[in-house]
Structure 1
Amino acid sequence: MTEFFQEHLKAIYYIIAVLICVTVLQVITQLAHKWLVKREQLKHPDKEPNTLHLLRRILKILWYILGLSAISVVFIEEQYRDRAKSDFWLIFYLGIVITFTVIGVAVVQNLFSKAIIKKVEEREDPTSYKFLRNLAVFGVYFVGLVLGIYAFPQLRGIAQTAVGGAGVLAVVVGLASQEAFANLVGGVFIITFKPFKINDIIKVSDVMVGTVTDITLRHTIIRNYENKMIVIPNAIINKEKLINYDLGDRRCCQWIEIGISYDSDIDIAKDIMKKECTAHPNLIDNRTSLEIKNGDPKVLVRVTALNESEVTLRAWAWSWDYSSGFVMKCDLLESIKKRFDAEGIEIPFPHRTMVFKEKQLKELKEQLS
C-alpha cells in the first residue's frame, strides 16, 4: 500500500488539487450568486432573477465537467493525454462562450427594458424599442453561435464565412427564399412604416380582432377578447388588409342594423332606435357645428334595404373608441329588441312557402290519414 502511494503520489496530489479547485470554484459561484441575487432583489423586488439562476447552473455544471475532464488525464494512456488536454480547453472555451452569451443577452434585455419602461411612463410608443431588443438579442445569440462553431476546426470555414462580408451576403441570399427572412423583413416594415403598434386594437379578419401585445422578429401577437393569444407571422400580416381602430382618429361609428316586418310601423321603429341610441352613455355627439345649427339629429336612422321579408333599418351611433362602441352595440341590440316587443314591432324570421301539385297534395293527405 505504501509503495502504491509513493508510486502515484504525484497523481494523488494532482487529483486532490483538482478537487480543491472545483470545490473553491463552486463555493465562489454560490457566494457570488447569493450576493448578486440579493442586490438584484433590492433593485427589483417583484422580479425573479432567472438569468442569475441560469448562470449559476451553467457555471456549476462547467466546473464539474472541467474537474472530471482534468482528473481523467491521470487515468488515460500517455498517447491520448494531448487529446484529453485539447478537449479540456475546448470545454472551457465553450463554457465561457455560453456564459458570456447569457450575460450579453441579460445586459441587452435590461438596457432595453429600462428604455421601454421610460417610454411607457412618458406615454410614448415603445414598439420600436421592443423590436430592437429582439433584434439585439438575436444578434448576441448569433455571435455566440459563431464563436461556438469556431471552436471546431472542421466547422471554422462556416464561421469565417458567416462573419465575412461575402458570407453575410451569402447568408442573406440563402435566407431570402425562406419564410424566416420574409418574416424578419416584415417585422422591419411594421416597425418602420407603423401600420399598427403595441397596444393598438386591430382587426385582421372577423375572427382575429384584438390588442397587439408584441411584435417580434418572426411574428406579431394579438390578444383577442377571449384572452387568447393569436400569433400571426409578419410575412402574412403584411399582406393582409387590416383595420387599425387606434390609427388616427379613435372615434368609432357603429352600425345598428335591425330588420322589421313590412306590416310594422317604420316611423315608430325609427323613433325607438333613435331614442335608445341617444340614451346610451357611450354615445358621443359627432355632429359638426353646422349640423347642430341646422337641427340634425344626434343619431341618424334610415331605411337601407327592402329585402324579401324585412325592411332593414340602420342607426349610425358614434363612440369614443372601438371598445366602448362594441359594448354600446351589444347593449342597443338588446334594448331595441325589448322596446320593439313592447311596441308591437315585429322582427321577422325567414319563412318559406311550399306549393304542392294536386296529385302530390292528394298523396300527402292519404299518408296523413
Structure 2
Amino acid sequence: MSALKTQPRSAARRLVRNATALAVAAGSVLAVSGTAVAHDRPAHRASYQVDTAQLATGLYQSAYSERHHVLWTTTAVGRPPVTQSRLLKVDPKTLKTKAAYTPPVTDQATGAVEAVYGVAVDDEHDTVWTTNTRNNSVAVYHQRTGKHLATLPDVAHAREIVVDKRHDLAWASGFGDGSVVAFDTRTFKEKKRVKVEGAGTAGLAVDTRTGTAYATDLTNDRIIAVSPYKAEPRFIPTGDAPIGIELSADGRTAYTANQAAGTLSVVDLRKGTVTRTVTTGAGAISVAADHRSGRVFVANRGSGTTTVVDPRKGTVLADLATGPNPNHVTVRRGTAYVVDKSAAGADRIDSVHRISLTRSH
C-alpha cells in the first residue's frame, strides 16, 4: 500500500470519524467499527477501516509471525496468584483463536501459573518469547506446537521483549531494577546484562543492523541505548514518561509513546534530540511503525483511540476508536493490530482491532 498523502490541517483538510457500535458473539469479527478519512484532493481520499473481534479476557500484547502468518497474543487475569493466563495463536484474517496454550503451573497449592504478558516472535528458530512479569522471568515456547521450552529467571518485573534475529538475541526489560538483559535465542543462555540504578526500563526496540537495543526509561524521561559491544549505555532524552518505543526503518529515528504527556516523540538518535512532538491522546502507551510507508501508530489507553501519525511532517492522519483501553499495537505490512483491555464484551472479554488502509477515488 502507498503512503497516505496529507497536508497541514485546514478547513480544506479535516478528519472525519464515524464510530459504529456493533455487538456480536465472542470471537467473531465485527463489521467496520470505526473509520477515519483524511482528504487531500477532492477526487482522491484515503481512509482507515477498523475491524473488531472479541477475543479473550486479560489481553496484554501481541506479535506477528511471518513464518506462520498468525498473530500471537498474551492474556493474564487478576493479581497474584494468577491462575488464568494463556498464549493465543490468532488468525489475522478472521481474528479468531486458532490455538491456546496455558503456561506451566508454578504453585500446586494455589494453581498459580507462569502468567505471560509481553511477547515477541523469533521466526528463525520457530519460537515465541514471553515476559512473565509476576514471576520475574522470561519464557520460550515452540511456535508450531506451543510447547514450553524454557523459563529464564532473574529479570525483575520483566515487561517487554524483542528479538534481534540477525544477532540471535532476545532482549528483555526489567522494570523492577532498571535492567536490560539479552539472551541467546539458540541456547537460551544469558549474554549481556546492563543495570541502570533508578531507571524504570519499560518498552524495547532493537536495531538489527547495529545490534543496539533501545529501552524507554519511564522514570527518567529518556531512552537507554545498550550496545552488545559496549560496556556502558548511552542516554537520550525524550518525552514525559516514555513507555512504548519503535524505530524507523533505517534505525536512525526512535518514536516514543509518552504516557504522562499523551504524545509521540520523534527522536534523532544520532544527535540525541527530540525533533518533533505530536499530541496523540491521553495515556499513550504503545507505538508501532509501518516501515514501508513511514506511518506510525500510537495506542492511547486513556482516550481509547489509536492515532496514525506522519512523523516526517508531525501531523495526525487519523484518530480511530479502538476500545476503551487499548494496550498494545503491532504492525505487519501496513496493517495494524491493537489489543485492548476494555473488558467490554460478554463475560468481560477484551477485543482485538485490525486497522487497514483503504483508498477510494
State TM-score, norm by structure 2: 0.20
Q: Which has the larger radius of gyration?
A: 1
The structure with the greater share of residues assigned to helix is 1
Bigger RCO (CA 8 Å, 6+ sep): 2
Q: TM-score, normalised by structure 1?
A: 0.19
